[in-house]
Amino acid sequence: MFNAKLSKAINEQINKEFYSSYLYLAMAAHFDAKALPGFARWMKAQAAEEWEHGMKFYEYLYEVDSSVELKGIDTPPVKFGSPKEIFEQVLEHEKSVTASINAIYELAKKENDPKTELMLHWFITEQVEEEKNARDILDQLEMAGNNSFGIMFLDKHVLGARKGD
Ligand code: FEO
């Protein structure tokens, strides 16, 4: 029988990953409306990745003979600020996801569940990359400042160059 506390925490994490997907899709919609298709492309790829993260936890629960209990996904914001403000929001959001994964890792250690610790290694590594990506884009947006050519350059050649959607 899989640990009930861990099952609850992983189910909550599934919800957080699906909310992340929804949040980034809302940001994509904002960028599409602002005629910044590169930023929108990046956000759509990120939304797809978050869905995959949720599904990785989903599959894990069945691998360990536990079960998935889906809850409602919160409504993401409709209004967003500048690209820089949005990426500040992305970085803060990713930091909160990192904290949440670290908390499950601590729980797995406390509950003596090495297989869940091991499964979480992938997510811990992934979060380092997620935070770095957001920080790098934020640095580039700071360089661009309010220069619309700078923003358009990033849209076309940096964010728009992201693979997958
Ligand atoms: Fe699923 Fe962006 O962390």
CATH number of the domain where residue 113 is located = 1.20.1260.10
Condensed to tens digits (0 to 9), the pLDDT of residues 66-93 reads 999 999 999 999 999 999 999 999 999 9
Residue 148 lies in a domain: yes
Describe the crossing of helices 114-144 and 83-110 by its angle, rounded to 10 degrees: 160
Distance 33 CA to ligand 1 centre (A): 24
pLDDT at residue 147 tops 80: yes
Residue 143 lies in a domain: yes
Residue 62 lies in a domain: yes
Residue 108 lies in a domain: yes
The fraction of the chain above a pLDDT of 90, given in percent, is 96
Residue 73 lies in a domain: no
Residue 165 lies in a domain: no
pLDDT at residue 62 tops 60: yes
Would you state the pLDDT for residue 80? Answer: 98
Contacting residues for 94 by C-beta, under 8 A, at least 6 apart: 127, 130, 131, 134
Q: Which atom of ligand 1 is nearest to the CA of 94?
A: 2
**Which residues contact ligand 1 via a Cβ below 6 A?**
17, 20, 50, 53, 94, 97, 130
Would you state the pLDDT for residue 5? Answer: 98
Please give the residue range of the domain that contains residue 21.
4-68+78-159
Distance 24 CA to ligand 1 centre (A): 10
Condensed to tens digits (0 to 9), the pLDDT of residues 93-141 reads 999 999 999 999 999 999 999 999 999 999 999 999 999 999 999 999 9
pLDDT class of 146 with cuts at 50, 70, 90: confident
Q: How many domains does the chain have?
A: 1
pLDDT class of 164 with cuts at 50, 70, 90: low
Residue 164 lies in a domain: no
Nearest Cα neighbor of 144 from 32, 8, 38 is 38
Mean pLDDT of the chain: 96
Task: Say which amino acid occupies 108.
Answer: A
Number of Cβ within 10 Å of residue 57's Cβ equals 24
Residue 11 lies in a domain: yes
